[in-house]
Amino acid sequence: MLLTLCVKPLGGYMARVFSGEPAWLSPIVSPLERIVYRICRVDPAREMTWSAYACGLFGVSLCGAAFVYAVLRLQDRLPLNPQHFGAVGSLVAWNTAVSFLTTTDWQTYAGESTMSYLSQMAALAWANFIAAAIGLAASVAFIRALVREKTDGLGNCWVDLTRACLYVLLPLAVAGCMALAWQGIPQNFSAYVPAASLERGVQWITGGPMASQEIIKLLGGNGGGFVAANSASPNENPTGFSNLIELFVMLLIPAALTYTYGRMAGDRRQGWAVYVAMSVLFVGGACLATYAESAGNPLVHALGVQGPNMEGKETRFGAAGAGLSVAVATASTNGAANATFESLTPLGTLVALANMQTSEVIYGGVGTGILGMLLFVVLTVFIAGLMVGRTPEFLGKRIERREITFVMLAVLTFPLAILFPAALAVLIPAGREPLGAAGPGGFSEVLYAFTSVTASNGSAFAGLGSNAFYDVATGIAMLAGRFGVLVPTLAVAGALARKPRNVIGKGTFSTSSPLFVVLLIGVVVVVGALTFLPADALGPIVEHLLMIRGQASS
């Protein structure tokens, strides 16, 4: 309910920002925006073709990844390193740089024992802003293509990136950081504090600029934690109210972008139809995950221990809270759950996988969620047109061979980037060596890893270790999942922008009706999730069947 109430005001605000209309922050931000253009020599009136726009976004990612890599490799020589951490290894630094610039935030390290404060702020938190802005810019460019006609221009990527940061991400991050710091999340530059444990050992209490990174990792769809335990850590998520804030902000911008789309398209019903489709898919998965974790494990029940599955759960949030958190974290491509994914029941694992295997469209990432869903809208319109024997049209534009070719290229690139490296990993010794489980459990670890990185999620099964193979393979999968989908999507936008808009008549298939919402959900499930059914059957599905028969899977 809280999320639905915020969809219209934030979505309308973003529509005004990216349409160049006055917004309520304009008097404060506009002067700074003009200074940025002057320094960077950007002409805000200059339009870009889809290919130039895509090159601009890729160039920003490439330069940003190089900067992050350099900071991590040199952190032992840079300031704000009170723990005196050494330089990050070359493969881990490369994997991390790619990870944070694709909003994946896949972490093969423990942040509290690897990254200096400067690396956390100047490299990782900064990358979270840029990566989220890239997704926002791409989604706005696609929406413009739907409403424009007979043009090659999709806008200016430099303007869209600047506005995404200054008008949207930065104000929300400042407000969110203050709220999280109020709840007790550290925001300082102090060295770690030693504390005596009950075993008479020494435990180090982490500090640092944590609240500022926590909010942008959640708000930007990134998910990389300041510490290894991520949102399960009391320092990153200390109270029930902070947990509510974190769950809410993960979905905030992706959900609000549906209204941005409807307003910019000139028909708010279009946006609400997409929002309803996303919400139905999310609620179904959240209910199943919550039920699975609350019902518990029959193998444990057979030992005389009744109750929910509390392994790997925070007692502060319980099994039901963990199930909801897992659903939010994987539906939003954020990955920052308050429970351990390795400890989920097989059905909980299946929900997490299915949320990501739908090509990150159940709310999804910042910008990338609405982009992926709009691709499925185009595909649904095309399929519906074939079913009734009419030329398919979307918002008055005909969907023809060129558009559907690029749509299918984006849709098929996603499963290919997951299934091929996952198959390779289980075939070679380097892929099997770091597994923490055998049998179906081990396969679930591998499948989950490549699904997570390709879907820009970044969550992982803790049992899966890291080695050179996974550092390289997951890095390639991240790039394929990000740009292998983004570039064809912008190509679709370029093709649609050049088309004239036809008059929408009574015979035109409505893309805002309840019937279309049902068809859209069906296409997402059939084309998206069922592509992975054979692979899922080898992992969490067979694990579940073995569990209810009273057998361990590994």
Assess whether 208 and 63 both reside in one domain: yes
Quick check: is 32 in a domain?
A: yes
133 has pLDDT over 70:
yes
User: Does residue 130 share a domain with residue 278?
Assistant: no
Q: Which of 253, 282, 301 is the last residue of a domain?
A: 253
Q: At what angle do helices 514-523 and 268-295 cross, to 10 degrees?
A: 50
Token pair for 167: 């008008």
Residue 423 lies in a domain: yes
Residue 287 shares a structural domain with residue 189: no
Q: What's the rounded mean pLDDT across residues 34-61?
A: 93
Q: Which one of 212, 229, 253 terminates a domain?
A: 253
* Same domain (yes/no): 247, 305: no
Q: Do 369 and 516 share a domain, yes or no?
A: yes
Residue 223 binned pLDDT confidence (cut-offs 50, 70, 90) = confident
Residue 73 is assigned to a structural domain of this protein: yes
Phi, psi dihedrals of residue 456, rounded to the nearest 5°: 60, 35
Contact of 134 with 481, CB cutoff 8 Å: no
Residues 280 and 402 in one domain: yes
Q: For residues 469 and 482, give the distance between their C-alpha atoms in angstroms, rounded to a whole number.
A: 20
CA distances from 339 to 30, 241, 330 (A): 42, 17, 12
Q: Are residues 404 and 450 in the same domain?
A: yes
Number of domains in the chain: 2
283 and 395 part of one domain:
yes
Tell whether 243 and 310 lie within a shared domain.
Answer: no
Could you read off the pLDDT of 262-284 as tens digits, one per residue? 999 888 999 999 999 999 999 99
Q: What is the pLDDT of residues 295-307, one digit of tens each?
A: 888 877 877 777 8
Residue 554 lies in a domain: no
Q: Which residue has the higher pLDDT, 509 or 519?
A: 519
Residue 297: inside a domain: yes
Counted residue by residue, the chain has a size of 554
Q: Say yes or no: 354 and 455 in one domain.
A: yes
Mean pLDDT of 166-183: 94
Q: Domain for residue 260, yes or no? A: no
Residue 153 domain-assigned? yes
Q: Which of 118-122, 132-136, 385-389, 531-535 has the lowest mean pLDDT?
A: 385-389
Average pLDDT over residues 65-71: 94
Does 78 map to a domain?
Answer: yes
Q: Do 202 and 325 sit in the same domain of this protein? A: no
200 and 151 within one domain: yes
The model carries a pTM of 0.93
> Where a domain ends, among 202, 228, 253?
253
Structure tokens at 297: 């494990």
Give me the domain span that covers residue 110.
2-253
Short-list 337, 279, 289, CA closest to 313: 337
